[in-house]
Amino acid sequence: MNIAIVGTGYVGLVTGTCFAEMGVNVTCVDVMEEKIESLKKGIIPIYEPGLEDMVHRNFQAGRLRFTTDLAEVLDEVEVVFSAVGTPPDEDGSADLKYVLEVAHTIGRGINKYILVVTKSTVPVGTARKVKAVIQEELDKRGVEVGFDVASNPEFLKEGNAVDDFMKPDRVVVGVESEEARRLMEKLYKPFMMNNYRLIFTDIPSAEMIKYAANSMLATRISFMNDIANLCELVGADVNMVRKGIGADSRIGSKFLYPGCGYGGSCFPKDVKALIKTAEKNGYRMRVLEAVEEVNETQKTVLFHKLAKYYPDLAGKTIAIWGLAFKPETDDMREATALVMIGLLTGAGAKVRVYDPIAMPECRRRVGDRVEYARDMYDAVVDADALLLLTEWKEFRLPGWNVLKKLMKQCILLDGRNIYDAVELKEQGFVYECIGK
């Protein structure tokens, strides 16, 4: 089976590579010539565990190809996945210009039946727009060529994307024809050998499912952050509260961990986009508006905790462990670290940072506003406080005696609740976390 994936970002590259791993002939397409040439040389533009080896293996086997020209492969493929970016517009709604550009290219170039599948996270109604654009281009050419559109939202977790794709807990596909259903079933059958988890819906429902899922998860996080902040005020322990409510089978324990705010490419963008979709249809998503507000405030929590110890931060050295929005990725989109760096440098503090993977990305975004440490211990030399923002494994069990010798003041503010308060007190640290 021959398919094309348009867009070699996070979703596109993982999707294309995983399909190739199952024996599908995949052509990955991107307009950025430099990126395509790098991929041909084995240089992977994103960090994702296990992806690089899989790309190399399938490229060498000839099942994975890279090109800048979608038009040249349209006669060869049965399915085209659109996995291009949908960045937030100025008003927070999803910008569909790249999605529609792909549709224009397909309409101008197809000569036989093709299934066009939207993989990007897009608002409800996007498939209808894609269909109209393709048909418009066919009408301009004066030709009749059959095609279908479908929606296949991704549910990949950064840091675990390859495993999520290869062993999905569900695959959602929105279709409007039997032929589209047949092709998608054929494509995903190799992933369903042990457990059939393919869910077929109409297209608007598939488009809505992704937004609704991410918004629900974001809601759980913001709710627990709200509860954590209240716990601090009333003297409760949010970890005990979390375990107590998570034991209720109706609630469950996942996504109940408080922290210093969520980030990444999905949750913030999708919450905003769903709010805007509602507004355009004359409805207010009041719960999601609150979710967004709580999250933005939560990103500043550690700064306000720090202000209790240093009302004036001018000239203070503050160390930060963790820059990516979560472990096992270099993604800093909407990361708490960006907010924190802005607040600290704005207050006159000297900021020294360390992250196992995201240092180059931080340099690209922040430049020389911060000092870049060689390792986690170099970051804390003569530091007046240490802020833990990302729960990388290597931060879980540091040498406390080493930290005490290196730091000017032993103040540790834990934004992810990974340390034991009793142990830190015994070690002589001033320790604060979220929610207790």
Please tell me the distance from the alpha carbon of residue 209 to that of residue 199, in angstroms, as a whole number.
11
Alpha carbon 4 to its chain's center = 23
Residue the block writes with tokens 């440098």: 345
The answer to whether 410 and 392 have CB atoms below 8 angstroms apart is no
Annotated catalytic, 362? no
Rg for the chain (alpha carbons), in Å? 24
18, 231, 260, 266: the catalytic one is 266
Q: How far apart are the first and last CA of the chain?
A: 55
Give 189's DSSP letter.
G
For 167, other C-beta atoms within 10 Å of its C-beta total 11
Cα three-residue angle 368-370-371, rounded to 5 degrees = 95
Please tell me the distance from the alpha carbon of residue 214 to that of residue 267, in angstroms, as a whole number.
6
Please tell me the distance from the alpha carbon of residue 179 to that of residue 113, in angstroms, as a whole number.
10
Please tell me the distance from the alpha carbon of residue 161 to that of residue 49, in angstroms, as a whole number.
8
Active site residues: 266
